Amino acid sequence: MRGGERAALPAPRASARRVPGSATGTGQGSIPDVRRPSPGMLDVARTAGVSVGTVSNVLNNPAKVAPPTREKVEAAIAALGFVRNGVARSLKAGRSTTIGFVLIDLTNSFFLDMVRGAEEVANEAGMNLLLANADMNPVKEQTFLDLFEEERVAGILLTPRPLADEEGPRPAAAGVPRVHLNDPTAGAEVCSVTTDNVHGGYLAARHLIDTGRRRLLFAGGDQLDPVRQRYEGALRAVGETNGAVTLERLPTEWVRPPDGRRVAETILARTVGERPDAVLAGADLLALGLVQALSVDGRLRIPDDIAVIGYDNNRTAWDSLIPISTLDQAGEEMGRTAASLLLEEVRGAEDHVHRSVRLQPFLVPRESTVGR
């Protein structure tokens, strides 16, 4: 059943939300935009009747200032609307205490696991982690990268979107250290952390084969390099069966629940003899949509009639009505490793060299393939 590939219906595009920016005009014809300068530390000091050094201590070392004096300074700050200039403060100190993290998709808990791991390492180093959701949108991704670079963050963690064939190489960071996560195509100019997606795809297909499945279908987005590698691993496992097992590929637009529901519609539209007895989904969210649609329809029982395995160990897979088998990518460990590499480069370690770290996924069998 390795017949021609069947293209799923395209998913609706995610709408991009405009990133707020500073407005310089008033929108009132030729009327100029006249604004007062923002209050500074000197203004706060004059209002509170203290020295600039005392204001600085209130902002940076409040324990050194007597409570009555601190209260006067805080009252002056509130009255004037003083906001400290974080960029200027970072420049004066010679370094920033902020790491920017641009995520491809904040709705996927696999990426949130990365954030948890990275935040743990950042906090231990006295750094702050600032998140931005690119939402799979190229304009948003570049906007956030430009913003972080302009704000002179200490470094950037990035789970990049896949580049289209007509696009050139991704623009290099403008002097800001950067580490890529879940990016098999990352070049030697940056550090990167990935998992072995080929091996993960092999483990997923091998699990289905070992549980007696013989007609496998791989569903996933062709434009995503990790998903393509998982298919490569599944092919390897099927190849070891000497023709006893078949593998069909069904491309999807992305790997979100609506894509999974469209895969279910494709399967249900086939005759009994044409249907697969197992589906290897390129990601857990895709598997979730598939399981939801099949469960609502009711004609195919999971896993009796059709087994389903996902990829990522996404938290939504744990909470599915039918818990979904999956491959765990060690997202938190990926985040910790990436943040450690970034901090090493930020601190200017003499022995730092750009390198790629590849972690090993592991199988997590659940009800969707092995039953209760």
Distance of alpha carbon 24 from alpha carbon 153, whole angstroms? 24
Looking at residue 202, its pLDDT comes to 98
Residue 53 CA: distances (Å) to CA of 45, 49, 64, 95, 370: 9, 12, 11, 21, 67
Return the amino acid letter for 232: E
Distance of alpha carbon 93 from alpha carbon 299, whole angstroms? 65
For residues 317 and 274, membership in a common domain is answered with: yes
Residue 9 lies in a domain: no
pTM: predicted TM-score of the whole model, two decimal places? 0.69
* Number of structural domains in the chain: 3
Average pLDDT over residues 8-18: 37
Last residue within a domain, chosen from 57, 84, 111: 84
Query: pLDDT for 82-99, tens place per residue?
Result: 766 554 555 444 468 899
Confidence of residue 125 (pLDDT cuts 50, 70, 90): very high
Residue 17 lies in a domain: no
Confidence of residue 149 (pLDDT cuts 50, 70, 90): confident
For residues 122 and 203, membership in a common domain is answered with: no
Determine the structural domain holding residue 113 and report its residue range: 97-195+331-359
Looking at residue 84, its pLDDT comes to 62
Looking at residue 96, its pLDDT comes to 80
Q: Are strands 362-364 and 326-328 parallel, antiparallel or unpaired?
A: antiparallel
Residue 238 lies in a domain: yes
Distance of alpha carbon 326 from alpha carbon 313, whole angstroms? 6
> Does the pLDDT value for residue 19 go beyond 90?
no
For residues 135 and 229, membership in a common domain is answered with: no
> Does the pLDDT value for residue 9 go beyond 60?
no
For residues 264 and 297, membership in a common domain is answered with: yes
Query: pLDDT for 22-80, tens place per residue?
Result: 333 333 333 334 445 667 777 888 899 988 778 877 876 677 789 899 889 889 888 88
Query: pLDDT for 186-230, tens place per residue?
Result: 888 899 999 999 999 999 999 999 999 999 999 998 778 889 999
Residue 16 lies in a domain: no
Q: CB atoms < 10 A from the CB of 332, how many?
A: 17
Q: Based on the number of CB atoms within 10 Å of its own CB, is 40 exposed (0-12), middle (13-18) or buried (19 or more)? A: middle
For residues 55 and 191, membership in a common domain is answered with: no
Phi and psi for 247 in degrees, rounded to 5? -135, 120
Residue labelled with tokens 């598939």: 290
Residue 34 CA: distances (Å) to CA of 29, 30, 349: 14, 12, 47
Please report which residue ranges of the chain form alpha helices under DSSP H: 41-48, 52-60, 67-80, 86-93, 109-124, 138-150, 197-210, 225-239, 257-268, 284-297, 315-318, 331-346, 367-370
For residues 171 and 281, membership in a common domain is answered with: no
Structure tokens at 202: 């092999």
Confidence of residue 101 (pLDDT cuts 50, 70, 90): very high
Residue 3 lies in a domain: no
Last residue within a domain, chosen from 84, 113, 143: 84
> Does the pLDDT value for residue 366 go beyond 50?
yes
Looking at residue 82, its pLDDT comes to 75
Average pLDDT over residues 304-328: 91
Nearest to 173, CA basis, from 191, 156, 151: 156
CATH code assigned at 117: 3.40.50.2300
Looking at residue 291, its pLDDT comes to 97
Looking at residue 170, its pLDDT comes to 59
For residues 231 and 162, membership in a common domain is answered with: no
Is the Cβ–Cβ distance between 14 and 136 less than 8 Å?
Answer: yes
Q: If you write DSSP's letter for every residue of 142-167 in order, what string do you get? A: HHHHHHHHHTT-SEEEE-PPPPPTTS
For residues 234 and 366, membership in a common domain is answered with: yes
For residues 154 and 291, membership in a common domain is answered with: no
Looking at residue 173, its pLDDT comes to 59
Last residue within a domain, chosen from 22, 56, 84: 84
Structure tokens at 265: 């519609």
128 contacts: CB under 8 Å, gap ≥ 6: 97, 98, 99, 122
Residue 122 vs residue 185, higher pLDDT: 122
Query: pLDDT for 248-297, tens place per residue?
Result: 999 999 888 999 999 999 999 999 999 999 999 999 999 999 999 999 99
Residue 23 lies in a domain: no
Structure tokens at 69: 């004096």
For residues 271 and 351, membership in a common domain is answered with: no
Query: pLDDT for 160-187, tens place per residue?
Result: 987 655 555 555 656 789 999 998 888 8
Q: CB atoms < 10 A from the CB of 72, how many?
A: 19
Looking at residue 11, its pLDDT comes to 38
For residues 246 and 307, membership in a common domain is answered with: yes
Question: Residue 370: which region, alpha, beta or left (left: phi > 0; alpha: psi -120 to 50)?
Answer: alpha
Residue 4 lies in a domain: no
Structure tokens at 325: 């088998």
Residue 371 CA: distances (Å) to CA of 234, 280, 287, 364, 368: 22, 16, 16, 13, 6
Looking at residue 319, its pLDDT comes to 81
Residue 30 lies in a domain: no
For residues 210 and 311, membership in a common domain is answered with: yes
